[in-house]
Structure 1
Amino acid sequence: MIVPIFNKQVPLQDGSLRTKIEAYAKTVGFELHNIFIIDGSKRSTKANAYFSGFGKEKRITLYDTLLNDLEEEEIVGVLAHEVGHYKKKHIIANVAASIFTTGLTLWLLSLFIGNPLLSEALGVSTPSFHIGLIVFGILYSPVSAVTGLLMNILSRKFEYQADDFAKNTYNAEALISSLKKLSKTSLSNLTPHKAYVFVHYSHPTLLERFNNLRR
């Protein structure tokens, strides 16, 4: 309902690519009826694909840039990775984690709003909603850093699992080849510092993913 407001989506036409995608989906027991192409190139050169929906509304969406940059085998390799996220129930886990962190945020906000001690700490004698928001923004920063770190660790674990699924059900080399091309178009840093990766990266580095896929 929301995506069509900002982007145009058209069904993937019949052909060898659609045949390969449907054949792969059938081999892994992934019921698929909707394959769309989205005009992502009007805002970015980044190539990507994503999976959305539940039940009969499941759909795979390919960026038009993905079709331009990758070969058909590589595209199916990328989709095998996305199907891995679904098969491993990563979508449900991410939704649950988001609900938990949102609940934690709102609970902490309820403690800060209207607290006279915190207002006095900023030199305001009369507590107010606006001062409570400012105090919350200051004090929540370290909590946000911790929850963000934990979410990144979980996300990297899920990426490895999805890569393993693609390796075991399709072709590791096709996914490796696609990752090389995608990292080139997105200008990825190939040698980030390990500490920076641990804190900020939601995906493993390219080399880490290669080593895992070829292990």
Structure 2
Amino acid sequence: ASLKFPLKKLFVVDGSTRSSHSNAYMYGFFNNKRIVLYDTLLQQCKNDEEVVAVLAHELGHWKLNHVLYGFIMMQYTVVPLECLVYFASNLVSRYFEFQADAYAKKLGYAKELQAGLIRLQEENLGTMNPDPWYSAYHYTHPPLVERMSALDDKPDNEETKSSCEGREVDEGVP
């Protein structure tokens, strides 16, 4: 029976050089469908009917639109999860930036760090006070205004640069 499968090419890949695993798969969209068979599959099948059965299985994926459904499923599952991971990663990164700022402040360099951050912001033409929701999602570093505020807060301790010189400072600054 004619299935009208738009096969462009049938590939046999050399999988035996890497493993004894055998497999077959169909991929492609629209009229660019391809079926790939591992050479190990051809070696392990006992007769031509078994190979044809595997091809029939792959054709089932095509006929039942499994590639399209898989693509749609990825859009509704993986993409939103990726967005959450991206957001969480940026939150952690921003937290680390605040920690590093606090460490510099503990060493007595709050004012110098503020001056340097302002200069970097100006040279990079960065937004001084971006929308909080936008920056929370897109920025790996806290907005300048938040960093300045954190550096202006009451000092963690009364040590200054001069009293820190020549001494090791506790690296467990929160």
TM-score by length of 1: 0.40
Larger radius of gyration: 2
Structure with greater helix share of residues: 1
